[in-house]
């Protein structure tokens, strides 16, 4: 089994997907697939563009919550569409449902006002 961290590290060093595949003994298609999966969950540091709600953004960063974990907290099943829907909610393009808000309040132990304050 190929170590995905090795793929990420080699790519960050500037290697092409073809070179990474040759070095690790896998296809460039597999390397591309792994790198695309990383793109879906790559946010480790939430910023103003990815989350406009200051309290929620602070909590996500302090607890190192990645996108896939947040999706689970919200009670969703991870998929490409789900990521887009959640990102739209985080950046204010659409609204959180009451159930999602209650899940966030329960998990974070923050009030609605603390979570969804805008600066």
pLDDT at 40: 55
Is residue 24 within 8 A of residue 6, CB to CB? The reply is yes
**What is the rounded CA–CA span in Å between residue 113 and residue 34?**
38
Q: Is residue 93 part of a domain?
A: yes
pLDDT at residue 41 is higher than 60: no
The residue range of the domain holding 99 is 54-115
CATH number at residue 61: 1.10.260
Is residue 19 within 8 A of residue 36, CB to CB? The reply is no
pLDDT at 43: 46
Which ranges of 1-119 would DSSP assign to H, the alpha helix?
Answer: 4-12, 17-24, 28-40, 54-62, 67-73, 80-90, 98-108, 112-115
pLDDT tens-place string over residues 43-58: 456 777 789 999 999 9
pLDDT at 108: 93
Find the range with the poorest average confidence among 25-29, 51-55, 65-69, 105-109.
65-69
| pTM (2 d.p.) | 0.61
Q: Is residue 45 part of a domain?
A: no
Total domains in the chain come to 2
With 0-12 CB in 10 A as exposed, 13-18 as middle and 19+ as buried, what is 54? middle
Residues 34 and 69 in one domain: no
Q: Is residue 34 part of a domain?
A: yes
Residues 69 and 107 in one domain: yes
């Amino acid at each position: 089994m190929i170590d995905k961290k090795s793929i990420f590290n080699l790519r960050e060093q500037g290697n092409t997907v073809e070179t990474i595949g040759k070095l690790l003994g896998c296809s460039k298609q597999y390397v591309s697939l792994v790198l695309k999966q990383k793109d879906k969950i790559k946010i480790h540091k939430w910023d103003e563009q990815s989350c406009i709600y200051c309290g929620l953004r602070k909590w996500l960063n302090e607890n190192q919550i990645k996108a896939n974990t947040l999706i689970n907290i919200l009670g969703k099943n991870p998929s490409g569409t789900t990521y887009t829907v959640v990102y739209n909610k985080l950046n204010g393009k659409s609204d959180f449902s009451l159930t999602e808000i209650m899940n966030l309040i329960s998990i974070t132990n923050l009030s609605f006002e603390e979570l969804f304050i805008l600066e």
